[in-house]
Chains A and B, each alone.
Chain A
């Protein structure tokens, strides 16, 4: 009895195995590979009232690639946090995901991002500017397909400021009220960098450290103390900037493309958008320089369907997909072909973001030591606001900020 049972089981197993083989052969002979791809994107890309950009593009991709029978699985992860989630557990993460380039070293350290090479790299190189490419490279390798630049610039009320006024912050302050996120360390370094302060030389040499010291930095600290004392200058914190724009008490503010829709609603045709102004330091005009980066479509290095995943990433970052995304969600494209398109280039938001990226920004360093650079600058901003940093102690305080940025302590 027992033996019979064993034979029966062996037979069943054998049939199952054969069946498995047969099915595989069938699918191979049909030329269609059944695959499942998981994609993580921000919820805005998938929401119905914003046109389901992601679903539209993925379906179009599936149509262009009849060799795959793709089942798409969508997850919600925005660019700011996706890299952390992927690095935490790459195996259980999406095949294709979107991340902000300042997290690129998180991914490369965890060996979670795939390198792009061959024809795919060529395509990325061909359709992006040098600066955008630099933002997705680590040690010369490309780790993703950039789809937009990520930086901040200036919004203003055209009734208050002329196009000439917005070239200089101090001229603006004579004519209207300007707010600036003074206590936010993504914004405040703009003044220091404008006066020759550097981070890791060109942003890539970790050993070089931060140079926010010496006379060039002290001058800026003194300038900032005076700037805060200006009655027409308002610190933008906890959303007070946009609230001020709404009630008319503030005429210009600094923010990124995510605020464009709200400001359009508030100012209507009076909305002006422009790259960063200069500021007058001891009689000399200095250009404010923001941090800039890019948002990138990355591929998981542990993806089971690497080729399809890379092709999908390339597709989602292509001119076609970027242009659709621009139409649906006003995500400013960075594809050079699209930027050459007059109708897109004429959009002042696109122009402002690109002018800022090209002319009035530095690439935000992606080296690991950058993590030490946020709190000291924030403390400096808060210190000036709370008047604990004054003209008397600005020298020591600036030095202290520089020391803290260069130290690895907590």
Chain B
């Protein structure tokens, strides 16, 4: 009797598991499908934007090779390098801004703390590109809209507003016990030392999160890059380059290269994520005893 019950519970669990896994598998297929298709297209040997078969008839690496060798019309390597420089610089800057602002709002008590948080909340309600035209004219007045300074202009654009996005990191810092800070203060730490030597090492998950989001932002942005680069093709980012590949003059020849480019731009993000992933789990372990 008891044995039967156990068995039926086991069976029940098995059936449940099967159903859950089937549902998950179906969802996974649906989600992965478009990515899989882009990857397949990037290896397609047939030209053109439209094909009647899902699987390419012939496979080739030429699309990737063309992307890096056929640079007279659309210089992909340079765009890739531009984007990488801009994304890395703005990632470092905005990560610092976000963490510093969050730390201040979480730990320091000052008069403007509440008003600042309210203001940030309200400003955050407006989409960033609303200020696009104004930002362009300000950059132009500063002489940053021509030549090599365009890169600097873009870095400023992407990192300048980062301080407003403190909410998540501040929420995380709030969970770190104040007792640790107090202990450090008694030991003679300055605020900066507490931030740098104590809070940050305890906050790896949120640092990872901040780094990832502040890298992806400039990496995939199109609007600001388009407005600020204008006709300066030497400073185009990959987003503009990929968009140009789909214009009617280029689409037939460049469509498969477009897919190859799309695969390539996912590599830095994926690499960064894989590298940072292991820090997602450590964090608070062992900070406070008892």
Contacts and interface: CB of A to CB of B under 8 A. Distances in A.
Interface of A: 40, 42-44, 47-50, 75-78, 80, 82, 85, 88-89, 92-94, 238-240, 242-243, 246-247, 249, 258-259, 262
B230 interface: yes
B232 A47 contact: no
A80 B247 CA distance: 10
A268 to B, nearest CB: 15
Contact of A77 (B146, B230, B252): B230
Interface centre among A50, A89, A93, A262 (most CB of B within 10 A): A89
Interface of B: 46-52, 70, 72-74, 133, 136-137, 140, 145-146, 230-233, 244, 247-249, 251-253, 255
A247 B52 contact: yes
A60 to B, nearest CB: 21
A239 B247 CA distance: 12
A208 to B, nearest CB: 31
A40 B231 contact: yes
List 4 tightest A-B contacts by C-beta distance, closest first: A75-B231, A239-B49, A76-B233, A239-B50
B233 to A, nearest CB: 4
Nearest to A80: B247
Contacts of A50: 72-73
B247 A43 contact: no
Contacts of B52: 243, 247, 249
Given A82-B231, A243-B51, 4 more contacts: A48-B72, A242-B48, A242-B252, A258-B248
A259 B49 contact: no
B72 A89 contact: no
B220 to A, nearest CB: 21
A76 B52 CA distance: 34
B75 to A, nearest CB: 9
B146 A92 contact: yes
B231 A77 contact: yes
Contact of A43 (B146, B230, B233): B233
Contact of B50 (A44, A78, A240): A240
A259 B47 CA distance: 13
A406 to B, nearest CB: 29
B48 A243 contact: yes
Contacts of B232: 75-76
A93 B136 CA distance: 13
B243 to A, nearest CB: 11
A37 to B, nearest CB: 14
Contacts of A238: 49-50
B231 A239 contact: no
Nearest to B147: A73
B252 A92 contact: no
B259 to A, nearest CB: 13
B140 A246 contact: no
12 contacts: A44-B249, A47-B72, A50-B72, A76-B232, A77-B231, A80-B247, A82-B231, A89-B140, A243-B48, A246-B46, A246-B47, A258-B249
A242 B50 contact: yes
A200 B154 CA distance: 43
Contact of A44 (B46, B73, B233, B255): B73
Given A43-B74, A92-B146, A75 B49 contact: no
A74 to B, nearest CB: 9
A10 to B, nearest CB: 29
Given A238-B49, A243-B48, A85 B72 contact: no
Given A43-B73, A89-B136, A239-B50, A75 B249 contact: no
A261 to B, nearest CB: 9
Given A47-B73, A246-B48, A239 B251 contact: yes
Nearest to B70: A49
Given A44-B73, A75-B232, A262 B253 contact: yes
Contact of B252 (A44, A76, A247, A259): A259
B209 to A, nearest CB: 36
Contacts of B49: 238-239, 243
Nearest to B227: A88
Contacts of A78: 247, 249
Given A43-B233, A75-B230, A243-B49, A262 B252 contact: yes
Contacts of A89: 136-137, 140
